[in-house]
Structure 1
Amino acid sequence: MEDPGELAAIVDPRARATAAHNLIDDYQSAVGELSRLRREALEELLADGMTQTQIAEMLNMSRSRVSQLLSAGVRPERAFLGTGAITVALGGKHEAGKEKPGAVVSAEALAAFERLAELARSHGLKAEYEVVPPPGFVVLNRPNLIVACGPRLSPLVQQVLESDNNVGFAKDNDGWHLVDHIAGTVHRSPCDAGENGDLAYIGRLPRPDGKGTFLYIAGIHAIGTSGAAHFIENNLAELYRETKTRRFSTIVSCRFDPESRQVISSARVSQIYRHEGAAQ
């Protein structure tokens, strides 16, 4: 962050206004993250047996203020999504029937983004999406990134997925499917049997530069990606409680309305595997 005092020395008012605007966004993001960290710490202290009165004495504030901090402000589970403005990278395909096709995303992928964006906004975070054109070279080395792009659309993502020894995608003569390597089970999409359901991978994977992780969701089919977003939307607190911001993976199922293609339910079908011993 820049020193606010340095902004006054900027002569051009347009440049000064832009710099001040950007700095305000940076500070608001930092304050939001500090608020989240404080609330999480207070909740941990309560869980460890401290009373609100004892916490108030420790922080030199009133008990009513402690109560207010615990009931308002940024919820700890926001960190599952990110600590600042979120980018959702959506896998794109070439437009069919055009001489110079551009990259387009499916309606289901956009529906997944809308769910995640609304969830982010409800936790005080901005969200935008970008389309990853074929052959799927997405920039993974950046913070606050969610990738919603199946391995068939991005060989790069497929390589990163190979770091997960617990859950993964596979392909055979019957098509793409998910494998739970720990349980020794194969999960095939209900869509392939003509049913109104699909399966998806949800996990936190390592960045290639080794400096962090990114959240990854992908269905066997496009509707499964929307199902993964539905599951996160409805189970954010549980996911954060189980994994914090550490690496993990799990398989979820979803059901959808065949007419509207809207996801109507989702559930886990495997354990939440924490990647113990992995660099977080």
Structure 2
Amino acid sequence: MTGEVERIAAIPDPFELLREATARMSAAQQEVTELARLRRRVIQELHHNGMSYAEIAQQVGLTRGRIHQIRHGGPAPEGAFLGQGTVTIVTPLKQEAIKSRPVVAIEDVTGAQRLGDLARSLGLEPSFESIPIGGEIDLNRPNLVVISGPRISEHVAQVLAQDRVLQFERASDGPWTLVDRTTGMVYRSGQDQKPPRSWDVAYLGRLPRPDRQGSIIVFTGIHPPGSLGVVQLLCTRIGDLFNEVKTGHFSVLVGTEYDPDTREPRHVELLTPLHRLEDN
């Protein structure tokens, strides 16, 4: 037995032993899942770079059939785009205009649920929490996906301020806009145009945590339909995004045309290239 198993086996309290054994099994299963994901990704990359399954198998002492099986089974490599193990999806509470109660935008609820389903399909375990009124939140944690912008949380605003290329900025007449500093292009939500139209723009990025000990995925539309558009993008094109940026720091602007009645995305597109934060 390993030292950890021996330690747990020696616990005299049977209920404590059960708790420890269960927790250790959960952690071990997450580790097995992430190792399988990593193994599949490496085989995929080697094969893409020109090695045959037989050549890979010869190098690592497995059969060609086993290498082929690993390549096409197990957790998808692109799951690493969201994180490892348990991914925490965070949505903001907002002040209700009439009764001043804390509420969550329906698009944020829907988006979080769909993102949770995506995480499960990629072999990850989603958990959910909210940014309270006032915007106080601990961002120095692993595997956070935060659906919020600078207006809701000063903590999130400080993370977003690290991006020198794509930035939130208030227009002179009041509404928030998104600005691409490389081109000078200013993107304004369709709701804030005259005449208004059913189109929104959103920010999506993976940025350093405040403690610089990890990363956070942050995205938000200028209005809630833009956030739902980012979720649509992730659910349909996460493989493409992962292939381009892996787990590195990046940012991009996303445009969403949506149904004016249901506010569901009709068409989602990238408005800018994927900017590498290291290149800012």
TM-score in terms of structure 2 length: 0.94
Unaligned stretches of 5+ residues in structure 1: none
Q: Tell me the residue number matched to 1:60.
A: 61
The range that moved more, 119-128 or 261-270, is 261-270
Shift of 1:28: 1.0
Shift of 1:230: 1.1
The range that moved more, 216-225 or 188-197, is 188-197
Deviation sequence 1:216-248 (CA, Å, 0-9, x none): 111101121111111111110111111111110
Shift of 1:205: 1.0
1:244 aligned partner, one-letter code: K
Q: Tell me the residue number matched to 2:83.
A: 82
Shift of 1:102: 5.2
Deviation sequence 1:53-72 (CA, Å, 0-9, x none): 11111121111111100111
Q: Distance in 1 between matches of 2:206 and 2:19?
A: 34
Q: Tell me the residue number matched to 1:154.
A: 153
Matched, 1:218 2:220: yes
Is 2:229–2:265's contact at 8 Å kept on the other side of the alignment? Answer: yes
Q: Distance in 2 between matches of 1:104 and 1:24?
A: 37
Is 2:177–2:222's contact at 8 Å kept on the other side of the alignment? Answer: yes
Deviation sequence 1:112-137 (CA, Å, 0-9, x none): 10121011000111112111112111
Q: Tell me the residue number matched to 1:180.
A: 180
1:209 pairs, out of 204, 208, 211, with: 211
Q: Helix, strand or coil for the counterpart of 1:86?
A: strand
Shift of 1:206: 0.9
Q: Tell me the residue number matched to 1:165.
A: 164
Shift of 1:203: 0.2
TM-score in terms of structure 1 length: 0.94
| 1:131-142 equivalent positions in 2, closer than 5 A | 131-142=130-141
Q: Tell me the residue number matched to 2:113.
A: 114
| 1:261-272 equivalent positions in 2, closer than 5 A | 261-272=263-274
Q: Tell me the residue number matched to 2:257.
A: 255
Q: Percent identity?
A: 38
Shift of 1:13: 2.6
Q: Distance in 2 between matches of 1:263 and 1:40?
A: 31
2:136 aligned partner, one-letter code: F
Is 1:103–1:134's contact at 8 Å kept on the other side of the alignment? Answer: yes
Q: Distance in 2 between matches of 1:51 and 1:179?
A: 45
| 1:88-127 equivalent positions in 2, closer than 5 A | 88-98=89-99, 103-127=102-126
Deviation sequence 1:185-236 (CA, Å, 0-9, x none): 0000112232112110000111111101110111101121111111111110
Is 1:171–1:177's contact at 8 Å kept on the other side of the alignment? Answer: yes
Q: Distance in 1 between matches of 2:156 and 2:95?
A: 18
Distance 1:264 1:159, change over 3 A: same
When the two chains are superposed, the root-mean-square deviation of aligned CA atoms in Å is 1.7
Q: Distance in 2 between matches of 1:96 and 1:11?
A: 56
Q: Helix, strand or coil for the counterpart of 2:278?
A: coil
Q: Tell me the residue number matched to 1:128.
A: 127
Q: Helix, strand or coil for the counterpart of 2:90?
A: strand
Matched, 1:41 2:42: yes
Is 2:207–2:277's contact at 8 Å kept on the other side of the alignment? Answer: no
Shift of 1:106: 0.9
Q: Helix, strand or coil for the counterpart of 2:201?
A: strand
Shift of 1:277: 5.3
